[in-house]
Homo-oligomer: A and B are copies of this chain.
Amino acid sequence: MKTYSFIEKTVNALSGNHSGDYPSIPLHERRMPSAEIMNEIIELIRSALFPGYFGSPLVNEVSLTYHNGVEIEKIYNLLFQQIYDSLFYHNRSANADSEQIRKEARRLAQQFIERLPEIKKMLSTDVKAIFDSDPAAKSYGEVIFCYPAARAITNYRIAHELYKLQIPLLPRIITELAHGQTGIDIHPGAQIGRYFSIDHGTGVVIGETTIIGEHVTLYQGVTLGAKNITLNLDADGQHLNTPRHPILEDNVTVYSNSSILGRITIGHGTIIGGNIWLTYSVPPNSRILQTRAVSLDLTDGAGI
């Protein structure tokens, strides 16, 4: 028994609150939404949107309705519970009426379900755009099945609908699932038009107030970010969400590892080269390139 006293000591230290010198993390005593179940929901939606490519490997025209029916019912039931938990998370200091929140959660889950056919339409344009921009692609099916961009944009378009319904936490969980799987980090608040394409994608970051037109293509490592971070708090101590990310008009292409920062506008038809740090607006049809690199011999002081 004596040998385990360090366990007791550690348990007691962890169970109490540490002293005031450090920030205090409040104990959330209700159930959090579950990242595992959100993942299950997303995979069910992926099956319903792209039958034959995800979910059951065998679907035909007869059984498609059966599969969609089971999936949509399951999505609705699971999502209702997750929305319920997330609404409680949001309202945790208030006197929440569980029956009313339950009703609100059902309403929101239904509204989301009704948006699925529209999401499918939008995604069909993205699949075409990804296919058209990659000479290595062999078919729409390969894009849907293999391309991380298709996965990340699907998650984003789902999360964006939940974001528009002002559901807390869940949209971010959904885009972070894609971020972890693909390295593509699209904030659910971003507004992105049809025929959106990302190539390779690792390291892409698209901020919350970004606005992207149609037929826009991004390469790996592109940041559409905020120029600086002046925190504005509202009366409740919450962060204010002011426009701080770029606007990309239609038919813009941004090559790898470039950073476009601040509430600037990139005019339609513009092409931005790779490894660019851009903090000012540019007119339509611009071409922006990095200054040519220099060749050095090994004796240079900067060294490598």
Contact = CB atoms under 8 A, between A and B. Distances in A.
B241 A135 contact: yes
A58 B76 CA distance: 12
A244 B135 contact: yes
9 A-B pairs closest in CB distance: A66-B69, A13-B117, A23-B128, A277-B290, A259-B274, A28-B52, A135-B239, A31-B57, A275-B277
A60 B1 contact: yes
Copy number of this protein in the oligomer?
6
B69 A65 contact: yes
Contacts of A281: none
A65 B68 contact: no
Nearest to A144: B25
A78 B105 CA distance: 23
Nearest to A13: B117
Contacts of A128: 23
A58 B207 CA distance: 33
B239 A137 contact: yes
A200 B189 contact: no
19 contacts: A4-B62, A4-B63, A7-B73, A10-B117, A14-B116, A25-B124, A32-B53, A66-B73, A135-B239, A138-B168, A142-B172, A146-B169, A200-B205, A202-B202, A220-B223, A273-B293, A275-B276, A287-B296, A290-B294
